[in-house]
């Protein structure tokens, strides 16, 4: 058993407020109403439109992938770390790695479109930064906690 630390609680609360809840909303909206203006406003910027079919399809596919793999791994991983099980940290490391991975891709594919419409403060905090910051913290913290586990 790995008792939660203050940092565990910080990552859980930050992840829930700034990552999980907003992404669950955005990705459910995209999955259920992919052509709505609200989906476009949230995902690519106020009043923006999909650049082409590939842009739309990648956003739609990522919404489903997030709903099936990434968001459940964050939710179940958070429960696992709070009750002290090593598998919670494994799921956190997985979800953190996914978060960093996809945001490296988005840095190259979305920055030139989202950054101008949102500005540097919002882009480097919510639209891109928080996902990278939480992802790196989750991976590093999870690995450091799992090293403590005796086999």
pLDDT tens digits along 32-87? 999 999 999 888 878 888 989 999 999 999 999 999 999 999 999 999 999 999 99
The predicted pLDDT at position 135 comes to 97
- Answer yes or no: is pLDDT of 151 > 80: no
Domain boundaries, the chain: 6-43+50-147
101-132 per-residue burial string, b: 16 or more CB within 10 A, e: under 16? ebbeebeeebeeebbeebeeeebeeebbbbbb
Helix axes 86-109, 111-122, angle to 10 degrees: 110
The predicted pLDDT at position 131 comes to 95
The predicted pLDDT at position 86 comes to 96
**pLDDT category of residue 148 using cuts at 50, 70 and 90:** confident
The predicted pLDDT at position 54 comes to 93
- Answer yes or no: is pLDDT of 115 > 90: no
The predicted pLDDT at position 150 comes to 61
């Amino acid at each position: 058993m790995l008792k939660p630390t203050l940092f565990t609680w910080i990552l859980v609360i930050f992840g829930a407020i700034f990552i999980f809840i907003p992404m669950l909303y955005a990705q459910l909206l995209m999955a259920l109403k992919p052509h709505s203006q609200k989906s476009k406003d949230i995902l690519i910027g106020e009043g923006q439109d999909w650049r082409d079919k590939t842009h739309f399809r990648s956003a739609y596919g990522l919404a489903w992938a997030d709903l099936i793999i990434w968001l459940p791994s964050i939710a179940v991983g958070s429960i696992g770390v709070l009750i002290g099980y090593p598998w919670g940290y494994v799921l956190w490391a997985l979800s953190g790695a996914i978060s960093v991975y996809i945001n490296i891709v988005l840095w190259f594919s979305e920055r030139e479109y989202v950054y101008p419409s949102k500005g540097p403060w919002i882009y480097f905090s919510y639209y891109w930064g928080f996902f990278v910051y939480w992802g790196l913290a989750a991976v590093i913290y999870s690995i450091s906690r799992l090293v403590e586990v005796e086999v």
